Structures are given as structure tokens and as C-alpha cells.
Chain A
Amino acid sequence: MASPSPKSPEQSEKNKQYDRQLRLWGDHGQAALENGHICLINATALGTEILKSIVLPGVGAITIVDHNIVAEEDIGSNFFLDCSSKGLNRGTETLRLLLELNPAVQGHAVQEPTEQILQENPDFFKSFSIVVATSLGEKIIQDLAQHLWDINVPFILCRSVGFLGSFRIQIKEHAIIETHPENEQIGLRLDVPFPALAQYLDTFDIDTLDLKDHGQIPWIVILYKAVQKWQLSNQNRWPMSRKEKNEIKEIIQEFIRKDENGIPIEEENFEEALRAVNTALVPTFLPVKIQELLYCSSATNLTKDSLPFWIMCSALRNFIEAEGKSKLPLRGVLPDMTSSTEHYVKLQSMYRTQAVMEAEIVYRKVQEIVAQLHCESISETEVKLFCRHSHDLHLIKGSNIAMEYQLGSNSVASYIARYLEEPDVMMVHYILLRAAEIFRSEHCRAPGEWEPEADIAKLKTCVSRLLTDISCSPFPKDDHIHEMCRYGGAEIHSVSAFLGGCIAQEAIKIVTKQYNPVNNTFIYDGASTNTATFTF
């Protein structure tokens, strides 16, 4: 039967709509995003901007928790609200307008206060991929953070007040398989070629090939041959130093054919081999960081509830100790090179076959573990992806916001104090944002919202209390406190738009489990246009 012609290979309407982002995080990233469910507490301008940038790329679902009624200032700062929304529930209205951006996204609005949900129905939060909160007071932040820490749901605490803004990511443990490193090791195993590769490399004799074929030798082969030649006079060592690598380059130069006048003939593949000497001759090794990961207690003491990541780490460790002979699985990706299709395809399939074989071994080990533990199965695709990126796995171990807020009792206080001594003005902003939260908790409004002048003293008390807790002397000047009261809790749209983009971007990194998110705090000061990150 004749093969059907590839019918309209491009794609569903959905893929067309998402084309530009699929090229960033791939189909599996998109699938992860579409399985994601983001909960927003308080549909402020900042909260709405965050959701907007998550709804557009097609998150699975959003839930807005907000018991507030749309007020005049919401209409001014929140792009999606207009006068017709006035007096209605802010979450419901915002949700309705946000969903117009992308009909594929599911949405829910909950009109109860967060405090009430936390008390009456704490399991409510269990189903979310991330909970994002804006404009909360200190007390509820601590309770919510502790609860989300306990049930292991990532939490992003966000603030936008006047020209100041920040976000704090609380995530117990976040494993990233696809970190997208800037310089990926090529990992060709030229120093320890697998049998099929060794056999293939040995079939070449650079000196006897005719010119046409000489120009088609893949640079991998050229490099290998050069090292072999070098090893004859170097006790079969592997070239490591710059000097030794230069010697390899000289050997490659000698390989290049000369014309009748003794002038070297330009051959692109040999040029490529020369360029590859520095990067492709890195010996195969197990990075310390990965070794630590594979031998940490989460990977060695598996339980039924262990995450797939740890089960795969454990299987990988078993592989390395046995079949892998201290090596990570082959990535199986062949870089582009000048060569005949024949050679290229052959090499490519060789690397691919070997990579598949090694990944299959790891997969079998994963299956064994899964069977032993009676836990949920892990797909072969997942294991393959894990193996392909095993050189760059990354683990973030986060910290609890509730702990950060109990100053004086832990290392956070000295961490903050150290920055305040510098003096680091961005840490001053952190103190002010925290003080404003205490203010909100105690007075149920933002500092300066009603009485800018009268609130200065009250806010100053909050600042002093914080500074005492971390054993720091009071600020020499009050201008930051005045500024905060002048803001009156108002959001500047561009600040919220900017921060909203930042927070949505980090949320997507977390949901897709690609790229390392900020660990764990980001602060922005629009007045000085400075930014900073801190790790509490």
C-alpha cells in the first residue's frame, strides 16, 4: 500500500497558536503547563498581570480566591476591569475577563476569605501546582506559608506597593531535569568509545582515502585518529593540558592534504576538527554535583511516596555502579558536522542506539524499583528525558517563609543584618515591605491608605520591631518610611506589569520544570531602577 501523503503536517489550531513558545519549552513543557492549575489569592493589578501571562500561554486552569468587591482604584490599576464591574466580586469579574484571553483555560472563582478557607477547608489548596498570593497581611502569610509547606505545594508571595515590588518563592524541593545550560557538554565518549563506535572509528584510514572521501570524514573521526597517533608517543594517556591539545591540533594539520605546490587544501571537516579540539576532548566523567545528588538520602532511602525524580536518581546510581562503569548514560546527540550523509547517519544512529540501550537499562532498573515499592509507574519517555539530561540535573531545596518570618530564632536574622550593615538599600526595602505587612495585619489596611501622616509613626513602630528582632540599630533616616506611607498601598501599573511578568515567568519555569527559577527572593525598586535577589 502506498504511504499516505503527509497530511497537513501542520498541526492543530492550538499548535499554531502556541508555536512560538513550543520552540522554547517543547511539547512536553506545554503538556506540563496544560496540566498546571494556578491559584491566585487576591486579584489585585499585580495578581491579574501574573495570571494574564499564564493564561495566554495556556495553563490548564486558574482559580482566583478573592472576597473583595471591585473598587474605584481597582478599575484604575487593573486593565481588565471597567466601571461595569464596580461593586461586584473582584475575583469573579477578573476571572471572567481573563478567560476571554484564552478559551482553552478553565477557571474558578472562590469568594471566601483565605483565612476562612485555611480554617474550614485546608485541603482546598492540595490540588494546585502553585499558589500565588498578593496583598496579604503578615499573620495570614505565615499561616498559609506553613500550610503550603506542610502539604508540599509551591507558594509565591508577591508584593507591589508604589515603586517597590518583590516576590518570594517557597518550594520545599524542586528538581529540574531540563536546566537548559548555556554550554552543554557534547559527551562523545571518544576517550572510552563503546564497542560499535570503536569498531567504526577503526575502519577509517585517513591517509589512504581519496580526496573526495577525505573531505567527507566526520571531524569526530579525525579527532579520534589524531589522539590515537598522539598516544603512541604519550603512553596512551588522554590529552588534557592546553599544550597537549595544541599537539593534537598540529597532528590534525598534518592530516590535511596538500596540493601539488605543497599548499594545504581547504577542507571544512578538518577545520571543524581543529575547532572541536578544546571542547570535544573533555574526558568522560561523573560531575561531583550529580554524584552528590545520586547519593543523597532522598535517592538512597526510597519509600512508596518518593518522587519519580528520586526513583530515577536511584536507578541511575545503580546503572553507574554496574553497567555504566562510572559513566552517566550517553546523551546520544551528535553535533552538526561536514560529512557525507552516509557517515553522518551511521554515526548518528550509532550514538542514538547506544543512548537508547543505556536508557533502557536505566528504565528497567526504574521498573524494578517501582515494582518493589508498589508506587506509581514512570513512563519510558520520562526516563529517557532524564537520562539525556543527567549531566545537568539540578535540585533546589527551598526554605519555609514561616521560618523566615520568625526572626531572632534563626540564621535569617543574621543574613538580613549582614546586608543591612553593608548598607544594602535593597535589603532596606525588604524590611519596609515586611513592616508594611505587619501594619496590614494589625490595622487591616495598607500604611498611608487613609491617613498618610498619622501612619508614619505606626509604620515606624513596625520597622523598629523588625530591626530589634534582628538586633540592628534603627534606620538613620525616615525617608523610606515616609515614602511607603505616601504610596498608601497603591499599585503603579507599570511596576505591577513588570513584576507580574517576572512572577509568571518563574511560575512557568516551576510548572514546566525547565530552567532554574529564582531561589528564592527578588526585590525591585522602581525609583532607583535596581533589582536584587536574596536567598532566605
Chain B
Amino acid sequence: MVARVAGVFDEKLTEAIANSKILVVGAGGIGCEILKNLVLTGFPYIEIIDLDTIDVSNLNRQFLFHKEHVGKSKAQVAKDSALSFNPSVNIIAHHDSVISNDYGVNYFKQFNMVMNALDNRVARNHVNRMCLAANIPLIETGTAGYAGQVELIQKGQTQCYECQPKAPQKSFPGCTIRNTPSEPIHCIVWAKHLFNQLFGEEDPDQDVSPDTADPEAAGDAGASALRTEGTEAGNVERKSTRAWASETNYDPEKLFSKLFGDDIRYLLSMENLWKKRRPPTPLTWNNLPGKGNPTAQHSGLPDQRVWSMHECAQVFGDSCKALQADLKNRPEGDHLVWDKDEKSAMDFVTACANIRAHIFNIPLKSRFEIKSMAGNIIPAIATANAIVAGLAVLRAQNLLKGETRACTSVYLRPKVNHRGQLFVPEKTLTAPNPKCYVCASKPEVALACNLKQLTLKDLNAAFKDGLNMQAPDAVVEGKGLVVLSSEPGETDHNNEKTLEEIGLNDGSALVVDDFLQNYEVRVILQQKDEEKSWRLVTDPDIPMPGPKEEKPANGSNGADEPKPGPSCSKEDSDSDMEIIEEDDTGEPAPKPPKRRKVGMNNEIVDLC
């Protein structure tokens, strides 16, 4: 066959393929297809990285995996499957996160090109920067249902992944989540936070108790009165939710009474909140609506039916017990990771979200709907993955032949458009944005904030969430003063100081760099009195991302959620068509880079 293809391909291409080294990032739906296409086209050397393990819900499209592979490393199984068909190819599999010191610029430089088959922005941003730094072409792919896209990213010739700021995402202030939810999604976000508080990685920014600092509740005498009484609920404020739950042995009734009774009564005491709103109604475990009612008739699947409060409470109790047992079976200090495909985790979030929705008079949702919203599930099918992966490898051939100009972005449409196109191509390569804060020759960006309030800790979060850095170091330009260091502990003592306190003012410039990404950007501070948190400004006309808080959206293991930022923040929906996320292939959980020192905590949550 290779002989036959040699006739079809011209000599130049045949030779280029024979001498190529390709890196595939992601061994999900698209990654499997890409790997197969590369192997059958005669590519001799392929490395593939994926942190994920195989889930049942992958099997409808990730054809290199079968039922007996569930739970195993995607990268490894993909390699084994592919090799069984063509043992002469050299495939190296890494069951690992691509965001790691092990895969630095020099690692990337050994490849002719990188092919991305990822499902999340964090990893996409990272690989984008690595390829820019290594100056090697990157073929970026994605699908969503019947739609898909393929684009080339080549330093200096095309847009990079971050040239166009991603549409600012719908944001939910923390106080809405904690105090005044008005939509089902607010309750779902709250329920996911609760999961993390009780069983997952505890994060102080995901507090689920009433937020007494809510500006709307300012001057609420009632609230402060209740607080000084030192009720059980009040005490819990100062103790971690997990510690308290653990003391009660995760007793469902006690948990329920606190979360859906005491906490709600506490919120009611913040009277200012309810002047314009309908106040919530606390619930009592023993007196729930729906008890004794026969299960309502419903024609659809059981998980498409909306449960009664009574049912919700039962599911709440059962899932609490199951999750507690799961947690107990793990080594001390380990925690659960929320996963939409894990039964108890999904049951728990469905029940809690609906109970909270009921309390706040918000329409309830079925488990099926909540799963979509909580897991940000993007439909994924075999056909679109095959199409996109086929195109990607054909693009790779163009690139090897030096036909960079032919590699314009192309979009697969769910159906033929009015111009008769099933595929809509760009006519030319999309030129880089000269103001891009990532790929411009001298990257620069302004950070609007209130220097009197923004702390260094916030600034660190701004660089991580806003500039997608993994481990930022910041130095005051011209002075050499280190304000932030990625070395653990080096600048921690300044964490709570405001920017003003350390001598920064309007117009001060910082040189911020990320060692791992080989990326440096000049950040100019802009004093904005009214700015509650921070905001990036490149072009005054283009909206830029602000801080993130919330992302119900995430991969199958929840680990690609961005770290939460300051209190009032944002929702990452990831459903904008500009970047199509392939659902749960993947690269979640950026691993903390090791950087220069060894011996720092480099533990990674085992996601199996």
C-alpha cells in the first residue's frame, strides 16, 4: 500500500512524511481519528498525550476504545490499538497533562507540527503558547454536534488561538450564587460548589453559605444580630463546611436542615435583599411537598422527569451517603472530583440544585437537563470527529509540502447553507492581530483595576485567569522589583498587600513572564476607581475577559475548571462557536509546573 501511495503522493510529500515527527495532544474522539489517519498515511513517528481515562460515554465515537478499556489511559490504549494495526510505526504515549514542565519548549521543538484534539480552553491556550514559543505549526481542531472546524496556527502568518479575545462569558456574581439565585443555573452552580465543599477540593471562593458581605445587604441590622447570637449556622461560618459535615457523620437530615433550613433563615434575616425580591422559603426535612404522592406519569426516560421535593430529599440522602463512603475509602487528604458521568455526584447536584430552586421559587429541572447545564455537555458524535480529523491530517500533508497558504480555516456546518456550502472555508489565512497580547512581537496589555483595593493575590489570579498563565512571575519594569514569584513562598508575605501599598501606581508597567510557557508580556496598570476587581484592556473597543469564578462547564472530571477569582465573577459557558470544544477528550487538570526546583508538591489528583 505504501508503494501505491508513493505513486499518488509526489516525492516531496512522501519524503517529508517519512522524516516527520508529529505530536498529537488529546486522545479523545478527534485524537483517535487523527492517530489512525496518521498511521495509515505512513507517518513514522507520533507522540500522543492525554491525561484522561476512558469512560463509557466515550465509546459512541472513540473507536480505538472498547468496553473492556473503560478506566484505562486513553493515550496508552489508543497507542496499543493503533499499533496492532501497524506495528511498524513508532508511537509514544504519555498518560499525562500537557501542561507540565516535562513538555517544555525544547520538547515541542523536536516536532514538525502539533495537532490539537483538546476539549478545553486552558490546555488550548497553553499549547498555543508553546507552539508560538517553539515556532512550530499547530493544527487546531474542534467539533460540537454536527459542526466542526480546523484551523492552522503558525507564528507570524496566522492568528493565534488567543488573537481574538473569546467572547466575555455570562457572569454570575458570587453573591447571586450564595444569596439571591434567580435562575436554575445559579442553583446548579451552587450545588456543584457544595459538592466540592463537602467531598471535593475545598476552595474558599466556592463558599456556599450566606454571603454577609453582599453589598446589597449592607446595613442589615437583622443579619448582624443573628450572627452575634452564635447560632449553629453562625458557628458553621467559621468552620469549614466539610469539617462540620464530617462531625455530623454526613447525616442527611442534619445537612439538609442546615443547608436548606438554617442558612435560608439566615438569608431571610438579611432583609434588604428581599425588598424587591420574593423571599425564599426554608424547608423542613420531615415535611416536604410530594411525600405520599404517586410518582407522576411521564412518558420519557426516568431522568427526564422532574422529581418532587420528597424524591429530591431521598436522592440527597442516598447520594450523600454514597459519596461519603467513596471519600472514606480514599487515602487521608484525598478528595472526590465532580464528574457529570458519575452517578452519585450527578444525583447529588440534581437534588441539591432542585431543592434550592424550590426554596427560591425557581423552576425545577430534570436530571437530564441539569446534567447538560452542570456538565456543559456538548453533543459529540463519531461522524463529525471523523470529518474534522480527516481534514486535519490532509492539512498536515499540505503543511509538509510547504503549502501553508492552502491551510485556511475551514468550518463544517450542520447543514448546507444558503450558498450551497457544507464546508465554509476562509479565503486566505487569517492575519495575526497586531495587538494580540500573546503573539505580538512585543506583547502588551493594560490591566484596569483599583490599585487601592486590588491585592497581590488578586493580581496573581488576574495573570492566571485573565492571561492564562500557569505560574506567573512579575517584575516592576525598570526597577527589577519582584512583585510576584512563582517560587513557592517567595512573595507570599505580600499576598494581602494592595498594589498601591507596594508602590505601584497608574501607568506603572510590570514585566510578567511564565517560565513554562516561555511567554512574557508587559502589563500597564490603569487606575479605575470604580473597578471592583480587574479587567484586561487591549483595544478599547474589544471586550476582554474579566475574572472568572464559575464554570459549571468542564470536562468529564471537572478538573479543567479555571481557578476561581475574586468574589463577583463569571461563568464560563464555553459554548461559543468560535472555539468548539470537543467534549471530554482530554487535557484537564493543569498540573502545577515543577519549574526550577525539585521537591515541591507535584502531586496530581488521580483521576481514574
A contact residues vs B (CB 8 Å cutoff)? 1-11, 13, 15-21, 23-24, 27, 49, 52-53, 56-58, 72-73, 75-77, 79-80, 82, 100-103, 162-163, 180, 211-212, 215-216, 265, 268, 336, 338, 340-342, 344-345, 381, 452, 486-488, 490, 492-502, 504-505, 508-509, 515-519, 522, 526, 528-533
- A497–B36 touching, CB < 8 Å: yes
- B410–A529 touching, CB < 8 Å: yes
- B383–A501 touching, CB < 8 Å: yes
- B37–A341 touching, CB < 8 Å: no
Given A58-B60, A488-B4, A211 contacting B182 (CB threshold 8 A): no
- B343–A499 touching, CB < 8 Å: no
Contact of A345 among B84, B341, B363 (CB under 8 A): B363
Question: Which residues of the partner chain A approach B485 to less than 8 Å between Cβ atoms?
Answer: none
Identify which of residues 352-393 in chain B touch chain A, using a CB-to-CB cut-off of 8 Å: 361-363, 367, 372, 377-391, 393
- B390–A499 touching, CB < 8 Å: yes
Given A10-B346, A212-B276, A493-B41, A522 contacting B394 (CB threshold 8 A): no
16 contacts between A and B (CB under 8 A): A2-B292, A3-B294, A11-B301, A16-B341, A19-B60, A21-B60, A77-B1, A77-B40, A79-B85, A82-B85, A344-B363, A488-B7, A490-B7, A505-B384, A526-B394, A529-B394
Question: Which residues of the partner chain A approach B414 to less than 8 Å between Cβ atoms?
Answer: 180, 515
Nearest-neighbour CB distance to chain B for A214, whole angstroms, equals: 9
Mark B307-349 against chain A: 1 for CB-CB distance below 8 A, else 0.
1101100110010000000000000000000000101001100
Please give me the residue from chain A that is nearest to B391 by CB atom: A498
- A516–B361 touching, CB < 8 Å: no
Question: Which residues of the partner chain A approach B394 to less than 8 Å between Cβ atoms?
Answer: 494-495, 498, 526, 529
Question: What CA separation (Å) do A335 and B153 show in the bound complex?
Answer: 39
Nearest-neighbour CB distance to chain B for A48, whole angstroms, equals: 11
Nearest-neighbour CB distance to chain A for B395, whole angstroms, equals: 8
Question: Which residues of the partner chain B approach A21 to less than 8 Å between Cβ atoms?
Answer: 60-61, 379-381
Given A6-B315, A212-B278, A497-B389, A518 contacting B362 (CB threshold 8 A): no
Question: Which residues of the partner chain B approach A345 to less than 8 Å between Cβ atoms?
Answer: 363
Identify which of residues 47-84 in chain B touch chain A, using a CB-to-CB cut-off of 8 Å: 56-57, 59-61, 63, 66-67, 84
Nearest-neighbour CB distance to chain A for B539, whole angstroms, equals: 27
Further contacts, 14 of them, CB under 8 A, given A13-B56, A493-B40, A498-B391: A2-B292, A10-B303, A19-B57, A19-B377, A23-B372, A75-B1, A80-B85, A102-B59, A212-B276, A340-B278, A487-B7, A494-B40, A500-B386, A528-B406
Say yes or no: is B33 at the interface (Cβ < 8 Å to chain A): yes
Question: Which residues of the partner chain A approach B343 to less than 8 Å between Cβ atoms?
Answer: 8, 10
Please tell me the number of chain B residues within 8 Å of chain A, measured between CB atoms. 92
Contact of B300 among A27, A341, A522 (CB under 8 A): A27
Please give me the residue from chain B that is nearest to A522 by CB atom: B422
Say yes or no: is B423 at the interface (Cβ < 8 Å to chain A): yes
Identify which of residues 126-173 in chain B touch chain A, using a CB-to-CB cut-off of 8 Å: 145-146
- A515–B146 touching, CB < 8 Å: yes
Question: Which residues of the partner chain B approach A163 to less than 8 Å between Cβ atoms?
Answer: 8
Question: What CA separation (Å) do A441 and B555 show in the bound complex?
Answer: 51
Contact of B277 among A16, A27, A72, A212 (CB under 8 A): A212
- B8–A516 touching, CB < 8 Å: no
Question: What CA separation (Å) do A533 and B394 show in the bound complex?
Answer: 20
Given A3-B294, A515-B414, A497 contacting B381 (CB threshold 8 A): no
- A490–B8 touching, CB < 8 Å: yes
Please give me the residue from chain B that is nearest to A257 by CB atom: B276
Contact of A56 among B57, B61, B420 (CB under 8 A): B61
- A501–B387 touching, CB < 8 Å: yes
Given A56-B382, A508-B383, A23 contacting B377 (CB threshold 8 A): yes
Question: What CA separation (Å) do A499 and B277 show in the bound complex?
Answer: 56
Please give me the residue from chain A that is nearest to B40 by CB atom: A493
Question: Which residues of the partner chain A approach B410 to less than 8 Å between Cβ atoms?
Answer: 529
Please give me the residue from chain B that is nearest to A4 by CB atom: B295
Question: Which residues of the partner chain B approach A502 to less than 8 Å between Cβ atoms?
Answer: 383, 387, 422
B contact residues vs A (CB 8 Å cutoff)? 1-2, 4-5, 7-9, 33, 36-37, 39-41, 56-57, 59-61, 63, 66-67, 84-85, 145-146, 182-183, 275-278, 290-295, 299-303, 305, 307-308, 310-311, 314-315, 318, 341, 343, 346-347, 361-363, 367, 372, 377-391, 393-395, 397-398, 406-408, 410, 414-416, 420-423, 425, 583
Contact of B397 among A11, A73, A494, A530 (CB under 8 A): A494
Question: What CA separation (Å) do A77 and B406 show in the bound complex?
Answer: 25
Question: Which residues of the partner chain A approach B302 to less than 8 Å between Cβ atoms?
Answer: 6-7, 9, 11
Question: What CA separation (Å) do A496 and B41 show in the bound complex?
Answer: 11
Question: What CA separation (Å) do A187 and B604 show in the bound complex?
Answer: 52
Question: Which residues of the partner chain B approach A532 to less than 8 Å between Cβ atoms?
Answer: 420
- A2–B291 touching, CB < 8 Å: yes
Question: Which residues of the partner chain B approach A265 to less than 8 Å between Cβ atoms?
Answer: 276
Given A21-B60, A76-B2, A505 contacting B387 (CB threshold 8 A): yes
Question: What CA separation (Å) do A346 and B277 show in the bound complex?
Answer: 19
Question: What CA separation (Å) do A58 and B343 show in the bound complex?
Answer: 23
Q: Which of A9, A52, A162 has the most CB of B within 10 A?
A: A9
Q: Which 5 A-B pairs have the closest CB atoms?
A: A76-B1, A498-B390, A501-B386, A501-B387, A505-B383
Question: What CA separation (Å) do A20 and B383 show in the bound complex?
Answer: 13
Question: Which residues of the partner chain A approach B363 to less than 8 Å between Cβ atoms?
Answer: 341, 344-345
- A495–B379 touching, CB < 8 Å: no
Question: Which residues of the partner chain A approach B84 to less than 8 Å between Cβ atoms?
Answer: 82
Nearest-neighbour CB distance to chain A for B56, whole angstroms, equals: 5
Contact of B60 among A20, A340, A504 (CB under 8 A): A20
Given A11-B303, A531-B421, A532-B420, A17 contacting B382 (CB threshold 8 A): no
Nearest-neighbour CB distance to chain B for A6, whole angstroms, equals: 5
Q: Which of B1, B347, B377 has the most CB of A within 10 A?
A: B1
Given A5-B314, A76-B1, A495 contacting B390 (CB threshold 8 A): yes
Question: Which residues of the partner chain B approach A10 to less than 8 Å between Cβ atoms?
Answer: 303, 343, 346-347, 367
- A73–B301 touching, CB < 8 Å: no
Question: What CA separation (Å) do A16 and B60 show in the bound complex?
Answer: 9
Question: Which residues of the partner chain A approach B40 to less than 8 Å between Cβ atoms?
Answer: 76-77, 79, 493-494
- A76–B5 touching, CB < 8 Å: yes
Please give me the residue from chain B that is nearest to A507 by CB atom: B383
Question: Which residues of the partner chain A approach B393 to less than 8 Å between Cβ atoms?
Answer: 494, 497
Nearest-neighbour CB distance to chain A for B283, whole angstroms, equals: 15
Nearest-neighbour CB distance to chain B for A17, whole angstroms, equals: 5
Nearest-neighbour CB distance to chain B for A374, whole angstroms, equals: 28
Nearest-neighbour CB distance to chain A for B139, whole angstroms, equals: 12
Question: Which residues of the partner chain A approach B60 to less than 8 Å between Cβ atoms?
Answer: 17-21, 56-58
Question: What CA separation (Å) do A11 and B383 show in the bound complex?
Answer: 24
